């Protein structure tokens, strides 16, 4: 029996740091976030349909998909609210 290293189990952080540093502007980042929320909601809807149709989807999978969609939407709304608050504060600042 040969023991393999852990190198394949540990994620490559060098590529992920490039993703963390945004190269695009706020608009592109916000648009991407909206698309991710939309995909989570579609996944949740599809899992509900599959559960009702009896396609081998368990109830806990439906609940997890629903909570993921709900949480991502709540996060999106909080980011939007903070962006609006930031804009209001910036417009109130004296020049």
Q: Would you give per-residue pLDDT tens digits along the chain (95 residues)? A: 565 655 555 555 555 444 555 566 888 988 999 999 999 999 999 999 999 999 999 999 999 999 999 999 999 999 999 999 999 999 998 87
Residue 15 pLDDT: 54
Domain that holds residue 71: 25-92
Tally of CA atoms within 13 A in the half-sphere of 92 that contains its CB: 6
Read off the pTM. 0.67
- Per the CB < 8 A criterion, the answer to whether 69 and 43 are in contact is yes
Which DSSP state fits 6? S
> Is 42 inside any structural domain?
yes
> Is 12 inside any structural domain?
no
When divided into structural domains, the chain yields a total of 1
Other beta carbons within 10 angstroms of residue 47's beta carbon come to 21
> Is 11 inside any structural domain?
no
> Is 15 inside any structural domain?
no
> Is 1 inside any structural domain?
no
Residue 81 to residue 52: CA distance in whole angstroms: 36
> Is 6 inside any structural domain?
no
> Is 17 inside any structural domain?
no
> Is 40 inside any structural domain?
yes
3-state secondary structure of 10: coil
């Amino acid at each position: 029996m040969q023991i393999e290293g852990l190198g394949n189990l540990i994620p490559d952080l060098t590529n992920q740091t490039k993703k963390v540093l945004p190269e695009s502007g706020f608009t592109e980042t916000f648009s991407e976030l909206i698309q991710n929320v939309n995909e989570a909601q579609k996944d949740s809807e599809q899992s509900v349909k599959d559960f009702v149709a009896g396609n081998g989807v368990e109830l806990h999978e439906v609940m997890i998909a629903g909570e993921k969609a709900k949480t991502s939407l709540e996060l999106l709304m909080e980011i939007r609210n903070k962006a609006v608050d930031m804009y209001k504060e910036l417009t109130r600042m004296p020049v």
